[in-house]
Amino acid sequence: MEIIDLKDGYKFQMINTKSFAVSIDDETKVFCPFCYSKIDESTDCCPTCHKNIPQLIYFHGDDQTWIASGNE
Ligand SMILES: [Zn+2]
């Protein structure tokens, strides 16, 4: 699990079995949720930051953070 930042203009969205950052203006644009590099939704491991794309991204309300899980 890892804490990640949600940038302005993006939301986190599950596509198939993984969770990505997508542009709010154009949901067909998919980005790495860690480094926000443009990637393809079939990507398993980001070629820029070398992190695995998480299965799930959820909001942890107690401390107002987004958590990525299933990327170990
Ligand atoms: Zn990345």
Distance from Cα 8 to the centre of ligand 1, integer Å: 17
pLDDT value at residue 33 = 98
pLDDT value at residue 25 = 97
pLDDT value at residue 70 = 95
Task: Calculate the average pLDDT of the chain.
Answer: 96
Distance from Cα 61 to the centre of ligand 1, integer Å: 24
Distance from Cα 10 to the centre of ligand 1, integer Å: 15
Strand order in the sheet with 56-60: 2-4, 65-69, 56-60
pTM for this model (two decimals): 0.93
The average pLDDT across 4-10 equals 97
pLDDT value at residue 3 = 96
Q: Which residues surround ligand 1, an ion (CB under 5 A)?
A: 32, 34-35, 37, 46, 48-49
